[in-house]
Amino acid sequence: MVLSWLLNSLSKEIAESVLYSQSAKDLWSDLEDRFGQANGAKLFQLQKELSSVVQGNSSVSTYFTKIKSLWDELDALNTFSVCVCECECGAKVKSLKAHQDERLLQFLMGLNDIFIGVRSNILLSSPLPSIGQAYSFVIQDEKQREIHATPAYSGESASFIATNQQGSFRKFNENRMQKTSFESKKYLGICSYCKKPGHNIQKCYRIHGFPADFKFIREKRFQGSAQANKASFSNQENEEGSASGVQNLTKENVAELLQLLQQVRVGHSSAETPDVAANVSHA
């Protein structure tokens, strides 16, 4: 029965090497010869891993499991002599407590800095708590941080708040764009030529011409006023042309015109004389 228990407690590879042992004593002696001696290289590796193990991105439970597995493996390699004598001075208890405190400090040193508060409380305790108690304190602190970091509202509330924020932001942008458009039109002023708002004289269509695709809001009214303006402009041009023609006549031109008028008058008077003589003879 003991032989079966020992075989089941071994790994598959080791169990196959001692499967045909005659007794539990032979099996134990074989294992002691192979694994009873301390392995210096393995001890060095374990101590090196213990000196560098930290929590990092792991949770507290994952970090504690890792460091405790190294402690257990180190204890399996080290053979401590167990004192069986009756001790009245308490040296055995103090030695065991110092060993536990050393491992407690290793655990606290590997924690992240966010646990500096609970770590300080543990170090201020007298005597220092056991490793299990310290682990419990750190776990409680970690749970409290997770509770405070979790939002108090549900997913539907978060979606509703995000939707309202997006709608408010969109409405704010629309109002700002409308205000900017209104202010840009307001600062254009009134045209000094046509007295219409929304543009200045440098961009007045009535001076620089209308685009081909421009449509008038009041087409008939503007056409009538445009025709009247066109007629007044043409009359003014004709009057200005006549005045400029009179001003350009010289004295010689005036003399020729007067001579021509006299010839016309003499022609009219000679044509009327035979008619008068005929009337007299008939009488």
Position 173 scores a pLDDT of 62
pLDDT of residue 274: 52
Cβ(39)–Cβ(77) under 8 Å? yes
pLDDT computed for residue 119 by the predictor: 94
**What does pLDDT average to over the chain?**
74
Q: Give residue 133's pLDDT.
A: 94
pLDDT of residue 219: 47
At 90-101, the pLDDT tens digits run 777 888 889 999
Which residue did the predictor score with more confidence, 120 or 174? 120
CA–CA separation, 145 and 140 (whole Å)? 9
More confident residue, 114 or 34: 114
**Residue 243 in this model has a pLDDT that exceeds 50:** no
What is the rounded average pLDDT of the residues 61-85? 83
State yes or no: pLDDT of 183 exceeds 60: no
Amino acid at 273: T
pLDDT for residue 95 = 85
**Contact of 10 with 18, CB cutoff 8 Å:** yes
Instruction: Find, among 105, 98, 50, the residue nearest to 74 by Cα.
Output: 50
pLDDT of residue 62: 94
Q: Where along the chain do its domains lie?
A: 57-149, 157-213
Q: What integer pLDDT is reported at residue 179 of this predicted model? A: 58
Residue with tokens 């792991």: 58
Six token digits for residue 107: 């655990």
Cβ(131)–Cβ(96) below 8 Å? no
140 pLDDT band, cuts 50/70/90, is: very high
For residues 12-23, average pLDDT: 81
CA distance 118 to 133: 12
pLDDT at 242 over 60: no
**Which of 18-27, 185-194, 201-210 reaches the highest mean pLDDT?**
18-27
- Amino acid 137: pLDDT: 95
Q: In this predicted structure, what is the pLDDT of residue 67?
A: 95
Q: Which residue did the predictor score with more confidence, 160 or 29?
A: 29
User: What is the residue-wise DSSP string for 193-229?
Assistant: TT--BT--GGG-HHHH---TT---SSHHHHHHHHHHH
Nearest one of 227, 231, 206 to 216, comparing CA atoms: 206
Query: Which residues have C-beta within 8 Å of that of residue 114, sequence separation ≥ 6?
Result: 145
Over residues 179-192, mean pLDDT: 59
Q: What is the pLDDT of residue 103?
A: 94
Whether 76 and 28 have beta carbons less than 8 Å apart is answered as no
Indicate if the pLDDT at residue 155 is higher than 60.
no
In contact, 34 and 51? CB cutoff 8 Å: no
